[in-house]
Amino acid sequence: MVTAIVIPIICLYFYWIAKREMRASMIEWTALKNVSEEAIIYGEIKEVTGSKQRFSYYRFVYILELSIQMEQRKWVVRKIIPIEKGVTIPNVEKGDYVHVYGNWKEDYFQVSRIEKRA
């Protein structure tokens, strides 16, 4: 009798915990699109790298990393893009002159928007 009551309660409890964690993960994943534009970096792109990484379970992000030469300094900037249906990756190439808008994280500049300049 106790088993018939306790086991379903335990199953429902773990289901509730998993559902709560998945919801928090989904919110965190979609928040990657919203980066505040507090600063700007401009210059010529010296190196472009991109990689697809797992964010959680079946959610992925594409990390576009640019090395930008700005006068005498070289900056590393990253654009983190949640991979959703119909997502477009910015088309930037080595040698392009760009303005990138975003904010500073620990040791890199997180990009919100990339604009090509002539």
pLDDT tens per residue, range 66-88: 999 988 899 999 999 999 898 88
pTM: predicted TM-score of the whole model, two decimal places: 0.82
Local confidence band at 100 (pLDDT 50, 70, 90 cut-offs): very high
Q: 93 near 47, Cβ under 8 Å?
A: no
pLDDT tens per residue, range 47-59: 999 999 999 888 9
Instruction: Give the pLDDT confidence score for residue 2 in this predicted structure.
Output: 76
Instruction: Give the pLDDT confidence score for residue 110 in this predicted structure.
Output: 93
Q: Where are the beta strands (DSSP E) in the chain?
A: 39-56, 59-70, 73-82, 97-104, 109-117
Phi, psi (deg, nearest 5) at residue 45: -75, 125
Q: 114 near 102, Cβ under 8 Å?
A: no
User: Comparing C-alpha atoms, which of 68, 76, 64, 70 is closest to residue 105?
Assistant: 76
